Structure 1
Amino acid sequence: MKTFTDHRAIVFATLSILLWQSSRAEVSPELAAAAAPLAEGVPEVAVMRLQTLLGRNLPDEEWRAVAEKLAEALVAAKQPADALTLLAAPRLREISSTIFWRAQALASLHRWTEALPLYEESARADNSPFRESAIFGAAEMLRALERRDEALQKFFILFPDKEWGTQARLRSAELYIDKYDAVNARRVLDEMQPKSTAERKERRLLRGRLELVLQRPERAIGAFQALLKKPKSASHAVVIAALSGIADAHLQLKTPETGDDVLEDFIERHPQDVDLALIFGKLDELYRAERKLSRNELERWARDPAQPRRGFAQWYLARLDLRAGRRDRALESFAALRRNETKSAALAPALLEYAQLKLEERDFDGAIAVLNEARALQPEATLRDRIDLLTAQAQYLAKRFEIATATFERIAHSPSPWAKLSLFNASIGWLQLGDHARFLADYDEFEKQGGDEESRAEMRLEEGLVQAANGGDKAADALQSFLRDFPRNPRASEAWVALAELAFHSTPPRLDEAQKDLVRATESKPTAAAAERSDYLMIWIKDAESANGTDVVELANLFLQKHATSSFALDVRMKLAETYYRRQDFPNAQTQFELLAQQNPPGPLTEKALFFAAESALSSMGAHSLDRAIVLFDQVVRLNGELKWAARNEQAVIERKLGKPQDALLLYDEVLKSDAGPSEKREALCGKGDILFEMGGNVNYRRAVDVYDQLASDKEEPTHWRNQALFKKGLCLEKATDRAGALSAFYEVLENEARPGRWRELFWYYKAGFNAARLLEDDSKWESAAAIYQTLAATGGNRSEEAKARLNRLRLEHFLWGD
């Protein structure tokens, strides 16, 4: 909805000229005394007195007289909502004059469309004391609705009127200026004969604006400066409009640096002016036009305690930073504004902008909190509707569909200018909640309200998209129906991509069908969203088709070039990194994992990326790869996440490779004394035992045996860990010349595998078996060695043939053929 532009703010005050007259000839002394402050320009006192009087047990006629005057006072005191509540009382319905006050209240709430017919009805009433006021009000409503020619016709009616004629001419001249009709604007200004100084100053203002229309900014500046130098008798609105006019003139002259001095001087001298919002807005226009902008004034005002200037300075500093791409600084300025103890209702739009930024950051609860604070400032109705709408959108994005849909429905069935948009959103909300009947009801209502074909098509498309996202059985039918009914819709490509996604995620995946749907999407002039999702899906299709990853690497790199800011970018970079890693292209894998960690806030994904970046560095052949791996693993540790102790174990492995066994032992001991999980502690025990074994010497062998015994002692340990520990224990005992103990340890592995119901682990099983047989052969115990080879051969694993060959060799060499 379009509202008055800045210069129009000078005239709407006319609607607040509340007439000290009544439709009643006789006024009681008590009523006259209570209402007297209204005529004296202090309506707030009149409201208090009239409310007290109304609270008495008055006869109906006196009650109506007091209520009518109270409604008038409420409008004058800028309490239009309370005035409307009062005017809805049944006892006031028969009084025709209340129609005018209802129109005044609605106009104060910027509800132009509702106020217009009431003004027109009041103007048609016989013997109405408000006829001319109502005509003027109707003209103003038409002007607000940008129905300029109709507004001019209303103003022409008032030209002969002594009371309203000058105001009507001023408004007509302004309308002609808005239409860039300089000839008629000059004619009306020349013909009028203003009586008061205030009217003459307003005419001078309009002459200045006329010079701007005629592209004579120097003359316009002269007219505006004359008003500012001698502002006496000029209304505040005229002064503000003159300031705005000077800014526009300097924009025409392309000298914004000069124009901003005038506005900055006014702001400096009037830090609490009621129209600071308009002045800062115009100042921002000048700043946008400047080549070399100075932030000094805004930064100084942002530190000064004077309000509301401080809040406006913080707001417009944030805007400057946003335009300069300094988003973090902008968020800091908005946060500082939010922390101010006192905030004007004029700053509610700033909080709305802040909430929008938080939504873009996906901080939904933060956005809702800011919007609640904006609503608490009690802004005008149109802005309050925008706040409610954005709150509902935040709830929707946070997947709180029930709350969001209820809010959308409320706005949809209100006089809000956002009603139709809210009805659209409410219908989609019902889809998310699985209430298809309510969706259809809203769709029908939208159609009856004259919803355009494009919007109806979008609702049908959203029906299919939401069902597809939620795994609905009828999603494909809904999407196909949309494509049949709206084949040339600009978003047809999105339906084809959604169909491709359904085919890909089916069981089993229909990869050929998915690719054909993506081709149709490409042929349908894809939207940006469709192109992004299509490129994303193709990566996973190619990943499912081929194991070598060549296409995946190419498509993933292309996606990141084309859609760098996509919400899918993190997933794609992870897939690219994993593909490089799987192909053993460790340098590229490391690069992608590190980029992923840098671009993602601290969390599980960042931790995983850093961990595998370190693993990639560990696996590469670079000169400093091990040092880099240690640094990356240390970053994982500092994140204090699930991979912390796994990273410590990997650091210990690197220290072993670097020939620093004592450092590695310290790291393993840190893991063993920590709250690490069983798998990390098993890894640390095994690593510690391996280091002690590598260090050599009987003392270290015995220490290693103790560690391996600890690892093998838990009967519930995974079999491969227990078998590994027993095998390595046997090696230690053999090195310590305890051959009997070594044989016993090796044989225990074979015994474990022989137990029924155990998962078969053959790697350490074969190693232990062959080593046990070797020890027996070394001791010339051929029969026992043959028995072990026979057991290994009967196992049926990948080394069974090797065991058979050794068994046959042993039998041939030592004549061990049995019966």
Structure 2
Amino acid sequence: MSKVQQSPEYQAAKKYISDYLPDLAIPRIEKLLTREDLDETARATLLTLLGEAQIRAGTPGIALKTLDNPLLREFSPAHLWRSYSLVQMGRYRDAIGELEKIDRMNMRENADLQTGKLLLALGNPKDARPILIPLLKSKDASIQKETTLQLISVALSLNQLDEASSLLEKSKPSNPVEESLIRYLNGRLQLARGDRPAAVGTFQTLLNDPEIRKNLPAALYHESTIALADSLSLEGNESSAIDSLLDALNKNPAPPNLEAIFARLRIWADKTDPAALILNISKWAPLRQAFLENPSVKNSSSVQAINLTPLNAVPSTTLPEPRSLFSLSFLTSIQLQSDDLNQRREGRKRAAQLQLISPSGSAFVNRSLLELGVLNFKKNNFEQALAIFSLIDDEKAAPATKAYAKALAAKAAFAIEEQTKASQLFLEAEEIAREIQRDDLGSLAALNAGITLLTSTRSKEIDEITRNLDSPEARSFLILERGLFLSSKRATEARDLLISFLANFPDNPRTPEAALALAESAIFSLPFDREIALKNITPLKFDLKAKPDFEARRVLVLLALNKGIQQAQDFLTKAPSHPLAPRVLFQLGQTYRKPTNERDKEIGKANYQFELLIEKYPASEFTDPARYYSALTSTALKTDSADKTAILRFRELIDKKGVLANEAAINLCSLLIDRNQQERALGEIVTFLKNENNSQSDQRRFLVLGADASNQIGQHQIALEFYESLLKLENLPASTQNRAHYISGQALEKLGENAQALESYFRVINREFSPETTTSLEWKWYDKCGIEGALSLLEREERWKAAIQLAEKIGRSGSPRAEDARKIAERIGLEHFIYRGRQAPPEKTLPNQ
């Protein structure tokens, strides 16, 4: 090995790696590996170095294959680099498994430190703590320091404040950045203890001391801004906290944590003078037009929006900076909730302004719509929401404004599923527009009248409206909207409309939207057509900032096609708060579970996505399904920690008593049985069987599991009781009956009840089986009863003629194992000299002497 290490190629490779040029090191290492004079140690060292270079070059998948060489299976450095590769691929649990294989004493501490970090990343501080604590005694000062910082985070996460305090006292930062981090952690500890003066002092020092501030990382600075406000709010001092946040917004108009800042302002708004707060924040809100030129209302019950855009509108301005939008949204909320009528009127105006200037589908628009109507829904007074848009009529607005108001009121009616009223209001808007010769607005109102009828069965009226529309653009729009609506309802009729639109209007700017809807219809609606979906989705790409909903839907189609993993990861990184982000994350996990021609299924990565969804989106409708699939993938990983996670997730679903509760219970029992915890499983099964609301299918599965578990631990009589209960169920599938008789026969054999066992087997064997209609599962248990059950028992009892007769019967049955049965009959006949041709003549009886 020394000769290799002294070679110019090796020295150059090491130098390139140290100079952050791993791509230049790789060919040199590969060249060294072609030498024929390498012994096993040298080759193992070079392979490990190659894997390191490939990881540093950003190709963890290639590195993993390199490090999978049989020479490296007992080589600790290779296990370490394999773990780094797996971390880059998001396979944290697999990386922990590699770290556990490291047996070199001088590498063990670093392996444990990395394991602790990974467990923290997976949200398991309790598991990380016992691994990290011994490292505090390490002789390596850098490991001690890093371990201390990790354990402080562990202690704060577990609310173990005394331990966090003790560790902070022992921390000895060696540079200004570490000093800032320790100071920040100390402030978090003071905040957790409710020590307002100390926490305030700590975070003010971090933010205001020039020497400390210049060494403070940007992320820590913004976190400290929030932490300072949280500290100030203690002991009922919310006003001071608000002042702190307002001051921060004055100094920095575009911090990355605007959402967190305004979330706290909403929470604390009622703890201060509302007039002063409104005055302070109003200076950041965009100036309001004297008249809402381009009202745009989003439909709460449909993916699509209905936009009313007059041709002679004031030219649109650029999108306001984020602080302006947050401020406007905040003011809308505060003023709509005010007891003062004038403030509520201002709130309505701000809400309309917010709809006008915000990006389509943004959270601000959704909030404003919600607050405009839902605040009045608290007492189930739904008409008030509609009245919000109708107030312009009461103010005797200009005809053009009335037309817009009618259209907006129509949209509100549509949102509360009053389609007839909505279509009527749109037609009234059209009439007003025609009277003032605003044919553009009239046509658009008529178009939206057709859209409101999409959810009804009044197709003839829609056809008539479509024919009467003035422009081809409007007609194409309504055709498209019909296709989009039907696609959103998973109706196959959508395909013809969308295909027609794409064929007849190829230059329409909304063709990407139509292609997306067509792809969705083809992949999400019966009959499925992957070819159409793939053809239409492949060319599409939407700008995430401009059209986040479309990009989210595109990613979902790609994932449904078992593609688009990278696109999904990019979407989740850039738009983690998008409403469809939980669904994308869930579908990403499902995609990792499915193998393709290009890759194997990746259970570890799938598990990570489901766990991440549970952590990041606890209120999502996909959280419970994520719990279920996290449990399934954890079970497949077959490690102790993964089993604990699986059991935890199953328990959570059982306790919630939702639609997945029984499925979780069944899988929990199955897991316990697989892990040789049959008695524990039986206890669970007995409990679940007491639930009178179980479906017959679930009851059947519990009974089968109970019988299996009982048989495995020798409680054959209890197993028989389970199967007796099973066979009493009505409408029992034939395959389940066959299985029940087979397992019952097995249990009876073990109890020495061979005659009863044979009877159980023959209840299946003597049934009429048709090769054309019998399912594969029915045949499976038929063959088990016949060949593995009755035939095996008859041979053990040396009842050769009966065995031959049974084997021949199975051979004539048409079962998948009929040929096996015929061979068995032939073998028994040959071994025991039993004639199997024509009927043997009866034995002669000697005459009486």
Within the candidate set 707, 714, 722, 1:707 is matched to: 722
In structure 2, the CA distance between the partners of 1:312 and 1:555, relative to structure 1 (3 Å rule), is closer
Q: In the alignment, which residue of structure 2 is the partner of 1:65? A: none
Cα shift at 1:445:
8.2
SS of 1:795's partner is: coil
Q: Is the 8 A contact 1:311 1:337 kept in 2?
A: no
Aligned partner letter, 1:348: R
Counterpart of 2:651 in structure 1 is 634
Distance 2:647 2:817 in 1: 37
1:620 aligned onto 2:637: yes
Find out whether 1:429 has 2:437 as its counterpart: no
2:780 pairs with 1:783: no
Report if the CA contact (8 A) 2:499-2:518 is conserved: no
- Gapped regions of structure 2 (runs ≥ 5): 1-244, 287-320, 356-362, 596-600, 839-849
Q: Is 1:650 the counterpart of 2:667 in the alignment?
A: yes
Residue in structure 2 matched with residue 680 of structure 1 by the alignment: 698
Work out which of the residue numbers 589, 598, 601 in structure 2 matches 1:577. Answer: 589
Residues in 1 aligned to 2:657 and 2:251: alpha-carbon distance in whole angstroms = 49
Opposite residue 586 of structure 1, the aligned amino acid is I
State the shift of 1:499 in Å. 5.6
Work out the CA distance in 2 between the residues paired with 1:299 and 1:518. 43
Match of 2:270 in 1: 302
- In structure 1, give the amino acid aligned to 2:733: P
Q: Which moved more, 1:738-747 or 1:611-620?
A: 738-747
| Cα gap change, 1:403 to 1:811, in 2 (>3 Å) | farther
Give the 5 Å matches for 1:63-74.
none
Residue of structure 1 equivalent to 2:345: 348
Q: Deviation at 1:653?
A: 2.9
Q: Aligned match of 1:722 in 728, 733, 737?
A: 737
SS in 2 for 1:714: coil
8 A contact 1:709–1:726 mirrored in 2: no
2:758 to 733, 739, 743: 743
TM-score (norm 1): 0.51
Q: Give the C-alpha shift of residue 617 in structure 1.
A: 0.7
The alpha-carbon deviation at position 434 of structure 1 amounts to 6.3
Deviation at 1:800, TM superposition (A): 2.2
Matched residue, 1:692: 710
> Is residue 2:791 matched to residue 1:773?
yes
Matches within 5 A, 1:28-67: none
The alignment status of 1:366 with 2:388, answered yes or no, reads no
Bigger shift: 575-584 or 799-808?
575-584
Distance 1:325 1:813 in 2: 94
Task: Work out the CA distance in 1 between the residues paired with 2:722 and 2:550.
Answer: 58
Give the direction of change, closer, same or farther, for the CA distance of 1:800–1:334 in structure 2 (3 Å limit). Answer: farther
SS at 2:640's partner residue? coil
Are the aligned partners of 1:668 and 1:688 in contact in 2 as well (CA < 8 Å)? yes
Conserved? CA contact 1:637–1:643, under 8 Å: yes
Residue 595 of structure 1 deviates from its aligned partner by 3.7
In structure 2, do the counterparts of structure 1 residues 778 and 715 end up closer, same or farther at CA, with 3 Å as the change threshold? farther
How much does 1:801 deviate?
A: 2.3
SS of 1:671's equivalent in the other structure is helix
Q: Is the 8 A contact 1:367 1:394 kept in 2?
A: no
Within 2, Cα distance between the matches of 1:739 and 1:298?
Answer: 76
Residue of structure 2 equivalent to 1:228 = none
- Partner of 1:113 in structure 2? none
Q: CA RMSD in A?
A: 5.2
| Contact 2:745–2:758 (Cα < 8 Å) also in 1 | yes
Corresponding residue pairs, total: 513
With over 3 angstroms needed to count, the CA separation of the structure-2 counterparts of 1:514 and 1:719, relative to structure 1, is closer
Is the 2:519–2:534 Cα contact (8 Å) retained in structure 1? yes
1:643 Cα deviation (Å)?
1.9
Q: 1:387 to 1:758 in 2, by over 3 A?
A: same
Q: Distance in 2 between matches of 1:360 and 1:776?
A: 74
Q: 1:483 aligns with which of 475, 484, 505?
A: 505
1:404 pairs with 2:388 = no
Matched residue SS, 2:815: coil
| 1:318 Cα deviation after fit | 13
Contact 2:427 2:445 in 1 (8 A): yes
Deviations 1:438-481 (A, max 9, x none): 5677679875xxx9x98787566546645766625862575147
Counterpart mapping for 1:16-165 below 5 A: none
Deviates more, 1:310-319 or 1:426-435: 310-319
Query: What letter matches 2:657 in structure 1?
Result: N
Residue of structure 2 equivalent to 1:795: 813
* Distance in structure 1 (CA, Å) of the matches to 2:606 and 2:324: 31
| Cα distance change on mapping 1:803 and 1:381 into 2, 3 Å | farther
Structure with bigger gyration radius: 1
Q: Secondary structure at the match of 2:762?
A: helix
Give me the whole-angstrom Cα distance separating, in 2, the residues matched to 1:726 and 1:512.
Answer: 46
Name the CA distance, whole Å, in 1 between partners of 2:283 and 2:728. Answer: 67
CA distance in 2, matches of 1:563, 1:498: 21
Change (3 A) 1:503 1:323: closer
- Higher mean C-alpha displacement, 653-662 vs 730-739: 653-662
Q: CA deviation at 1:702?
A: 2.0
- The reply on whether 1:733 has 2:748 as its aligned counterpart is yes
Kindly state the Cα deviation for residue 658 of structure 1 after the two structures are TM-superposed: 4.6
Trace 1:744-763 onto structure 2 (pairs within 5 A).
744-752=759-767, 754=769, 761-763=778-780
> What do residues 500-520 of structure 1 show as CA deviations (whole Å, max 9, x unaligned)?
567778987665565555567
Question: CA 1:813–1:523 in structure 2 vs 1: closer, same or farther (change >3 Å)?
Answer: same
Indicate how the Cα distance of structure 1 residues 758 and 480 shifts in structure 2: closer, same or farther if over 3 A, else same.
closer
| Correspondence for 2:62 | none
TM alignment of 1:255-266, pairs within 5 A: none
Residues 648-696 of structure 1: per-residue CA shift (max 9 Å, x gap): 2222233334544443222111111012211222222222223332332
Give the match for residue 29 of structure 2: none
| Partner in structure 2 of residue 494 of structure 1 | 513
What per-residue deviation string (whole Å, max 9, x for no partner) do you get for residues 727-747 of structure 1?
A: 222222222222222222222
CA distance in 2, matches of 1:626, 1:319: 52
CA contact (8 A) 2:634 2:645 kept: yes
* Gap change, CA 1:367 and 1:461, over 3 Å in 2: farther
Q: d(CA) in 1 for partners of 2:659 and 2:556?
A: 29
- Flag the 1:392–1:730 CA change in 2: closer, same or farther, 3 A: same
Mapped pair 1:811 → 2:829: yes
DSSP-derived class of the 2:635 partner: helix
- Maintained 8 Å contact 1:730/1:742: yes
Q: Secondary structure at the match of 1:737?
A: coil
Partner SS, residue 816 of structure 2: coil
Q: Partner letter of residue 628 of structure 2?
A: F
Q: Which amino acid aligns with 2:591?
A: T
Q: Distance in 1 between matches of 2:448 and 2:622?
A: 33
Q: CA deviation at 1:709?
A: 1.4
Q: Output the CA distance in 2 between the equivalents of 1:586 and 1:301.
A: 46
User: Does 1:665 pair with 2:674?
Assistant: no
Counterpart CA distance in 1 for 2:606 and 2:280 is 44
1:352, 1:374 within 8 Å by CA — same for their partners in 2?
no
For residue 809 of structure 1, what is the amino acid of its counterpart? R
Residue 398 of structure 1 and its aligned partner are, at CA, apart by: 6.1
Q: Which residue matches 2:299?
A: none
Structure 1 unaligned residues grouped into runs of 5+: 1-283, 544-548
Change (3 A) 1:290 1:781: same
Deviates more, 1:344-353 or 1:464-473: 464-473
Q: C-alpha deviations, 1:349-375, integer Å up to 9, x for none?
A: 425767976972797983783885467
Q: What is the CA distance between 1:808 and its match in structure 2?
A: 1.1
Identity of aligned residues (%): 21
d(CA) in 1 for partners of 2:744, 2:267: 72
